[in-house]
Amino acid sequence: MIAAALLALVDVLTMAPRLKLEIRYATANNFTHQKLYAHARCLLHDAVARRLAEVERELRARGLGLRLYDCYRPLHVQRLMWSIKPDVDYVADPKVGSRHNRGAAVDLTLVDRRGRAVAMPSDYDEFTERAHRDFAGGTEEARANRRLLEEVMGRHGFVGLPTEWWHFDAAEWQTYPLSDEPL
């Protein structure tokens, strides 16, 4: 049975089936080195998912796509992440909750026509200055890809996190309630 709180969330693949999923927290390939989700799904609030589908369509017209690393995240998972990395620059304090816990944030990257990730200044979940949006190092190609991702996401109502090039919040994230329903 689907929990009531999850009924407010939609699977983004129903709106944008060409999106690529690599939900890292459904595997041990993440900074916790633990599988935190039972299922690899990307759930977001309807309005957020619709805007992400618009991003995907714009990028597809340019020969690019999106790979999603994380979307909705239960609050109990946020607590576990905080116990491992209690650093507000990279992990939201569960006392206030994450925008992911509201179904209003997404972690993602650009992919080429074949679904391969393009160059970015750092890996996903790399908690260093290389992950910051203003990082001036790395290759020009990686910085250009980061800028393109931020520009397209911004045009569709998403706001980037300064310390993580891959993280984007829906501008209205605060209007959505925290949730702790499991995936």
In angstroms, rounded to a whole number, what is the distance separating the alpha carbons of residues 66 and 59?
8
Residue with tokens 């750092």: 122
Catalytic residues: 164
Strands 158-161 and 43-45 turn out to be: unpaired
Angle between helices 140-155 and 46-61 (to 10 degrees): 130
* Structure tokens that stand for 11 in this block: 């699977």
Q: Which run of H or E residues covers position 106?
A: strand 105-111
Query: Radius of gyration of the chain from Cα atoms?
Result: 15
On whether the CB atoms of residues 156 and 59 are closer than 8 A, the answer is no
